[in-house]
Structure 1
Amino acid sequence: MANETINDSLLAYKKRSSDFLAQYKIKESLDYAIKIIDLAYQIDSDTYKTIGHYLMASNYEIVKDFKNVEIHYKESLKYSKQANDSIRILRSLNGLGNVYSEGYKNIDKGLYYYNQSLQIAEKINVESEKLAPILNIGWTYIDEEEFDIAYPYLKRAEKLAKDSGDIVAICDVKYLLGRYYVGKNEMQKANKLFNEVIEDVEEKEILSVLTDTYKAKSDAFKKQDNIDSAYYNINKYLYYKDKLFDEEKLKRIEIANASFSLDKFQRELEVTTKEKEYLAKIAKSNKLITIISIGLMLMLAGIFFFYRGYRSKKKLSKVLEEKNEQLIQAKIEAEKLTSIKSQFISTVSHELRTPLYGVVGITTLLLEDNEIQAKHKKLLNSLKFSGDYLLDLINKVLKISKIESNAEKLTKTPTNLLQLSQNLLYSFEYQAKNRNNELILEVQKELPEVLNVDSLKLSEVLINLIGNSAKFTENGKIWLRVKILSIDKDQITIRYEVEDNGVGIPEDKKEFVFEKFSQVGREFNKSEGTGLGLSIVKNLLEMMNSEIHLDSKEGRGTKFYFDLTLEVIDERGENELNLENSGINQKFRRILVAEDNKINQIVTKNLLNLIGYECTIVENGFNALQMVQKEDFDLILMDLNMPYLNGIEATKRIREFDQTTPIIALTASELSEVKEECLEIGMNDIINKPLNKNDLRDIIAKNLLP
């Protein structure tokens, strides 16, 4: 092979090795580095020997095999000196600094090599080559908590990094300056720099930078005794560390294969060298034998590499099969655990809702009594507030569980958004008056009257957002806005905004307010809530192909906003929204109540009396069946969980001889879990316990026959 052709190959191999190194494809990069070294020895090029060994060292450094890193950086240093190549000398010295500082924890020797590298960079005055040693010296002093010594190096590195435009170098400098400010107890400056780093690299998933930065943030918050933020950031650190660890394992497999290939290559090289010497002697006496021998060698080499490739592919295929089997098994286990968790939460929520029905129901009934003393009414209001709070917590935990188990589905219906928004804001009037807040609705007049949307989920999102503003605002204003971003005949994109001028959210709390059970802190509000509302908002909006955005300044208020793209319904569809007529004549009606719980019986009976109905109560499904066979009832309220004969079985038997009497299911379970079965067996509707007077009145009016 002519030297010119070899040089062309060396340039190509160098580019490929460098490209694979940038992609963390260690084995491929090493293969080409080995080829560079082989060809460099053939033409005795010190320049390419140092390039080959430098690339070998760089690959080993990624997987932190510092023994091999040291060997190849020293080889690179030796040949770069022979080639009198200053830039490669200083890079090799910098690499050896990494070996001793990071790998062997020999700080003095590490700093020695870094300073040797920096001296050469200063001597040849190449700015771009000064960055690495300066940054590494600063990093070493930061690790040693010598902050004052580190600072001048970091400021020099900051300018050099900006001039270079290298995103990793820029972020490394910011990360180290953040650690410097933590050491100096200037936490606001530190947090700002850490956040800038995360914003720059999180999308690109530069894992090494992310793990370093989140760990530093966690340590900083821990130093301030801010446990919530420290906990959040250590979780993010562990998440990216796990991803990095998985990546590292793959790299180690690659490096093991590459090491094996290198050993084989060296043995094959020795054999080939001996064969060439032997063939050269034979060639003098018989040229034909030489040609045949070379042909045989090429054929055998082809067979050998084909066989080795086959074995590697076979081994890789087996590894992939095993990994795939493990993933399938892990998926099955995860689904099983999710199912068990959902079932547990559902069961517990049912058991909690049932006694709460008694607490909330009896309290409501007592509050309806106008003769009750004022001091007792105050206590009852407190009791009802506590009961409602517990019920809200149970419902939110159940909602989170349903979303996580993918049991929550979108159900779009024609909806008047103006009316929906008015009703939602109106429902907060009492709470607003108590805290001296003004509620303001702003809706553009161009908003179409009817849009296709899951109104229940949208309502839940807005209730949580308005409730959040109401909780953290006093003597202020709360705005609910509906803005049109774009509109055509069939589709509209709107933006919902919920804004307040309350206490606002501190900078260090913003990043985790949407996490489950996260709270802003008692120093800002004494009644924090469950910390689930905003997590539910985030998850529901993701289901609706949207996302929640936050804009807040501490002491100046908070604005949440999200965008929805919705189908515009023809105005003729408006009539479909009001087909149901709840204005049924209030004449004497007989209602049968099947309920086994004594307290629930009292509550339901009194609620029915308050809204103008008489009722007969039975304790189980069997008695309900007997009563319907003997007497006529206008409607049946059927509890689902009863002894002897449950509500499902009782309804099935009633429908064998009575197809007309409306039956409404009463349940403390999540409606979506039982609604389909209830409707399939012939029930007309379903309502959750604890009951409230208005919901009970509406569902009865809806289902009573004229």
Structure 2
Amino acid sequence: MVTNYFQFFFILTIGFYYLIDKTEESIRPRYMETIEESLNDTTHVLSAIVEEKLKTNPRDRFHLKELVQQIFRFPFENVHKRTFEAKIYSLLKSNADIQMYVTDEKGIVIFDSEKYREGLDYSKYNDVYLTLKGKYGVRSSKMSDSEKEGALFIASPIRYESDIIGVLTVVKPKIGVIPFIEEAKNKFWRICLLVASSIAIVFSLLAYISFRPILRLSQYVNSLRNKDKKPFPKLGIKELNDLGKEVDQLVLELEGKKYVESYVQTLTHEIKSPLSSILASVELIQTHPKEIDRLAKTIDAEGKRIQKLIDQLLELSSIEGKNSIELNDTIELIPFLEEVIMRFAIELERKSLQITRVFPATPVLIKGNGYYLQMVFENLFRNSIEFANTNDNITVEVETTNPLLTKFVIRDQGQTIPDFALPKITEKFFSLPRPASNRKSSGLGLSIVKEILDLHQSEMKIQNLNPKGVEVSIFFAKL
């Protein structure tokens, strides 16, 4: 066990180092992306200044060189002479290093803040070439052979009406950004070292505290596997104590195969009746061909009964296997309920049932999973319809008076639930006979409802009404 601990700690250390190394590598690109975004804004502002001048005097488009020289020559000469002291975090900046040049529509430099580029053909450089093509012009390259870091070039078009008549490029030497990147990296590594040291200390302390109880628990589990009857040890840590008892209980349940037997026995019992009916109907068809229509309906009904049971078992097993589901849907509850009610229009009409709606005037929003909540409401409506008597009234109500909860209520006037059945009503395979047919259902509907509501962290309350009927309430957290 000690060996496993050190192996785990070694893997954790390697993983942590890999994480911080990759994060450290991303610092430089993130800084460059930030600089690029700022330069992009800057170059568009400067282009806009030139375009505004062109709007004032359209003839200047034929004299673009003189115009940009007039706008930018003196400001750049002034800023190059200017010195200042700007403490940016822990670094001191004393001069502006931003540069700029402008080319005409052929890519020839007509203005350069540094003067040495004027007259050169920059039409093949990406910043100018792409911008003249109407694309985003950017490049990263050296300004001279002596430089190691180079610079970032961001361009924007100078337009007159819909035509591109020039390109304005802002240049930021990377050497001015490097000190900030290095300072950020140093700070990052200092923090990582502090965090790593803290994690190592805490991890070692927890391992020391947990080692002996875990060893005892491991020996106890071993004894369970070997079927040695040993008393549960005193572990001294509540969480491990609880874990050990859960393991003990799990072993007992697995040995008894309670869960599997329950499913298999109930499924066998539920399918046996409709299957017998189908087989009997097939035999009668052979001897009484005139009864084929009636017997075919019986086969169809029993087949659908088996299909429904299998579908519900699959739905329940899929939900039981989930620890969580996505609850990202914002549901407007009242239209959602109206849509569910519409699906039962035929059943409501067949039994002459009336729906009374008690809804607030304002929209009611809840957060959840629309697919699973539809299953909840459909199961509840189906139960109310099946247990209601002909000409009964079913009430659907939404209450929003509680500041924290939205309450959904459905009431019917059918049979009350016997006292012995109330605690079992949401258990799998437990069902009461329907008043119309005196037949039981699969007993899975309310189990599915409860599982879904548990995943939504919502509470369901079922109670009998006086003198008859049942009320089901669900409480959803408000948005």
- Note whether the superposition's TM-score is higher than 0.5: no
Interval containing the TM-score (normalised by the shorter chain) = 0.3 to 0.5
Q: In proportion to residue count, which structure has more helix?
A: 1
